[in-house]
Amino acid sequence: MTKKKICVIFGGCSSEYGVSLQSAYSVIKNLKDDRYEKTLIGITQDGRWFLYEGDIERIPSDTWNDGRCRRAVLSPSRDKKGIIVFGNDSKEVSEFIPVDFVFPVLHGINGEDGTVQGMIELAGIPVVGCGMEASIICMDKNLAHILAERAGIKVPKSVTAHKKDAPKDYIDKAKAIGYPQFVKPVKAGSSFGISKVHCEEELIPAIEEAFRFDDHIIFEENISGFEVGCAVFGKKNIKVSPVDEIELFVDWFDYEEKYTQFKSKIHMPARISEDMSEEVRAAARHLYRALGCDSFARVDIFINDENELVFNEINTIPGMTEHSRFPSMVRAMGIEYSDLLDILVDLAEGKEA
């Protein structure tokens, strides 16, 4: 069997650089060697692209870029689909590596927000994952909520602000939401820049923290209840996993809890009725379509104290470590990680079971 040439991009000019290293390591390790010829591109936090040919064990520890990697870029020309590699002086082209697919395992801005997806689409290379449009929509919390609400799904009450707004406007907008509330960057993931605010005295530090990650922020209503989620994948024949549930023993699911779960627990399946589970799965499928997703994503939804479903977010490149929620959700469907990756590459190729 002829191996498929796949380029995996990791790292990224993003606050979620470290998260990408962990996800990409698992993806690279689980892509079947007898099926794929892998080309690895690492992007440093300051935005430099390198061809990485070393031991993949150095990726999660962030020791991959040891000064010996060659500079590389994705060819934008559709008649030369692949990676242009430069010599040690970074001036002369030393190699061209053809690729059939690009799998961007990037989290946050400059990777999950449609920027890289648009570049890959411009080059005419199939993307493993959602395309540019869905990536843009789902990364923008305000836009995603607007479209979810128009699709008939309840969303938290919210209002946005810009860095150029007058400070008094921030206070007035926050008061309109009420306390407690969340202050978030409009475009960021992994809970970076997010604060739960219980009173006006906590507001300014939360605003300053959110503005560290984006020029647009959102004041969002706190939903009293709990969070559930589903893995969704497919184009026409959409598959939805069983529902999982996040049980919290702390105030909210911040960055530390997402990646350590010291004071939280993930239940698979969720501790909800079968009827409620089917309602969540139907809503996840509906949201996936409504926001333009066409490959794979994790859909997160709140169940409030009145047993109503409230949209939280869609992650178009969810955490992809072997212990992350998305692979665990798919495993509950009887699909192992390496087989999941085959499915995602097949979707990029236009094949669907």
For 232-286, the DSSP string reads EE-SSS-EEPPPEEEEESSSS--HHHHHH-TTEEEESS-SS-HHHHHHHHHHHHH
Q: What is the mean pLDDT of residues 187-205?
A: 86
Q: Are residues 196 and 213 in the same domain?
A: yes
Q: Are residues 118 and 24 in the same domain?
A: yes
pLDDT higher than threshold 80 for residue 264 = no
Q: Are residues 145 and 282 in the same domain?
A: yes
Last residue of a domain, one of 221, 255, 271: 221
Identify which of 222, 223, 197 has the alpha carbon closest to the alpha carbon of residue 208. Answer: 197
Q: Are residues 336 and 305 in the same domain?
A: yes
H/E stretch holding 132 = helix 132-139
Q: Are residues 145 and 238 in the same domain?
A: yes
Inside any domain, residue 208 = yes
Q: Are residues 216 and 249 in the same domain?
A: no
Q: Are residues 312 and 215 in the same domain?
A: no
Q: Which domain holds residue 113?
A: 4-128
Polymer length of the chain: 353
Last residue of a domain, one of 181, 200, 221: 221
Number of domains the chain contains: 3
- Which pLDDT score, from 0 to 100, does residue 257 have? 47
Inside any domain, residue 96 = yes
CATH of the domain at 120: 3.40.50.20
Inside any domain, residue 63 = yes
pLDDT higher than threshold 90 for residue 105 = yes
- Which pLDDT score, from 0 to 100, does residue 256 have? 57
Q: Are residues 13 and 147 in the same domain?
A: no
Q: What is the mean pLDDT of residues 45-57?
A: 96
Last residue of a domain, one of 221, 249, 267: 221
Could you give the CA distance from residue 5 to residue 348 in angstroms, rounded to a whole number? 13
Q: What is the mean pLDDT of residues 29-40?
A: 98
Could you give the CA distance from residue 242 to residue 269 in angstroms, rounded to a whole number? 6
Could you give the CA distance from residue 270 to residue 276 in angstroms, rounded to a whole number? 10
Q: Are residues 231 and 213 in the same domain?
A: no
CATH of the domain at 228: 3.30.470.20
Q: Is the previous residue joined to 269 through a cis bond, with omega within 30 degrees of 0?
A: yes
Q: Are residues 123 and 230 in the same domain?
A: no
For 73, residues 6+ apart whose C-beta sits below 8 A from its C-beta are 49, 83, 84
Q: Are residues 121 and 242 in the same domain?
A: no
Could you give the CA distance from residue 268 to residue 272 in angstroms, rounded to a whole number? 11
Inside any domain, residue 345 = yes
Q: Are residues 142 and 249 in the same domain?
A: yes
Distance, CA of 42 to chain centre: 17
- Tens digit of pLDDT for each residue in 71-94? 999 999 999 999 999 987 777 898
Identify which of 342, 258, 179 has the alpha carbon closest to the alpha carbon of residue 18. Answer: 258
Backbone dihedral angles phi then psi of residue 239, each to the nearest 5 degrees: -105, 140
- Which pLDDT score, from 0 to 100, does residue 317 have? 97
Global model pTM greater than 0.85: yes
Strand pairing category for 225-233 and 239-240? antiparallel
Say which range, 13-17, 116-120, 154-158, 291-295, has the weakest mean pLDDT: 13-17
Inside any domain, residue 200 = yes
Inside any domain, residue 214 = yes
Inside any domain, residue 133 = no
Report residue 233 as tokens. Answer: 């994948």
CATH of the domain at 217: 3.30.1490.20
